[in-house]
Homo-oligomer: A and B are copies of this chain.
Amino acid sequence: MADWQVVAGGVTAPKGFQAAGIAANLKPSGAPDLVLIVSESDAIAAGVFTKSQVRAACVDYCRQRLEAKPNARAILCNAGQANACTGAQGWQDGLDSAAAAAKALGISAGQVLIASTGVIGQRIRMEALQAGIPKLIEQLSPQGSAAAARAIVTTDLVAKSIALEAEIGGRPVRVGGIAKGSGMIHPNMATMLCFVTCDAAVSPPLWQDMLRRAADRSFNQITVDGDTSTNDCILALANGESRTPAITAPGPDADRLETLLSQVCIHLAKSVARDGEGATCLFEVTVTGAASDAAARQVARTIAGSSLVKSALFGRDPNWGRLAAAAGRAGVPFEQDNLRIQLGDILLMENGQPLPFDRVAASQYLQQQADHSTHAMTQQIKAGSADAAAALAQPVQVTLSLGMGAGQGTAWGCDLSYDYVKINAEYTT
């Protein structure tokens, strides 16, 4: 049973954080496009960044900043222009953005982390950004998370947010997060971003390690189209305002905090997968019996990312052959005679050979999960609610066992629909 609970408030749920999101005329549409998250006190900061060789200025900036000194007071994020492939001028724009926010906040420029999302090859509209900063700071509030979550989205259908609370050292600790992303990348209107806040006190290397592992379990386990953005980043601040004892070494308290952080990341990652371009359902693949957790995750990821599996899912086709074939090409050795595949409660394959099963019932299971998920998404879009939990509650579940060891892992994806092709074929800047 989970020893944590969901609380309201997103990134402002943890103590000592404020946030704001406003429309600053960066997006041509006039939608909200500028976000600030501020910790009232100096926070430990960790980051996980895109591994792409083609990276936005903000990614290189934050990585260098955090390598030099793992702390920060604020995260400034603009939507509309990705500031990737913008050369030396783009780099300078990044520095200027951080400096402008820092000056207005009365802190040093090095204390501001930056993130951008939007059209690749376009510089940030610096005049609009600089004009927006005073208004943004005016709007900062301990209830500002929902506005921030709405202002970082681009093609997302719903904003993505969560906060969790658990007791650590006898006192409540909270971790909150917001994220955006609708394909793993849409390079002209791009990017997966996630900002996490936490009020625990934790040592910088421990916090960075936790974030890396949490990302491996969550954002690195989702796929919409197999593409990686130039701007992907996760930034996580921990400010110690919960006044719990500092966590400086591995142990039960560190484990509890890492669980909290992982659950926040997993919820947000699943929200991104469910909001994948054109998706009609969330797809959850669990692999057990692998030689290691890493091997299990790799097989799960390969299946979740297979175009043929994703197309079958859209067609509500319980196609075990495609699941077996995707597992086989994942680059993980296993004995095919031990393979076992289950869809929901229905066993499709055992000992590497197909079983007779009720095709109609299996297809109905796929349809029913998709219907539930679509209904919940529609309700959220109507309500403008940032809580995607209902749409995540009934994923299509596939379970594979490799019969080799105790390794297990889960990956999330979505189906491949006509709308994915439509969105990406007909999209122009």
Contact = CB atoms under 8 A, between A and B. Distances in A.
A379 B213 CA distance: 55
A224 to B, nearest CB: 9
B354 A324 contact: no
A53 interface: yes
Given A85-B354, A121-B354, A230 B315 contact: no
Contact of A424 (B308, B339, B426): B308
B354 A315 contact: no
A226 B320 CA distance: 18
B228 A54 contact: no
Contacts of A245: none
Interface string A401-429: 00000000000000011101111111110
A86 interface: yes
Interface stretch (A27-35, A40-48, A184-192, A382-390): A184-192
Q: What is the interface residue range for chain A against chain B?
A: 35 or more
Nearest to A87: B353
B185 A86 contact: no
A226 B352 CA distance: 23
A209 interface: no
Interface stretch (A141-149, A214-222, A253-261, A326-334): A326-334
Interface string A305-329: 1111001101101011110111111
Contact of A324 (B54, B331, B336): B54
Interface in A276-326: 305-308, 311-312, 314-315, 317, 319-322, 324-326
A226 B349 CA distance: 23
Contacts of A314: 421, 425
Interface of A: 50-55, 85-87, 119-121, 183, 185-188, 190, 225-230, 305-308, 311-312, 314-315, 317, 319-322, 324-337, 339, 349, 351-354, 416-418, 420-428
28 contacts: A50-B329, A52-B325, A53-B328, A53-B335, A54-B328, A54-B352, A119-B321, A120-B321, A120-B324, A121-B320, A121-B321, A121-B353, A183-B308, A185-B325, A187-B322, A187-B324, A188-B319, A188-B322, A226-B306, A226-B307, A227-B306, A227-B329, A311-B420, A311-B425, A315-B424, A315-B425, A317-B428, A418-B421
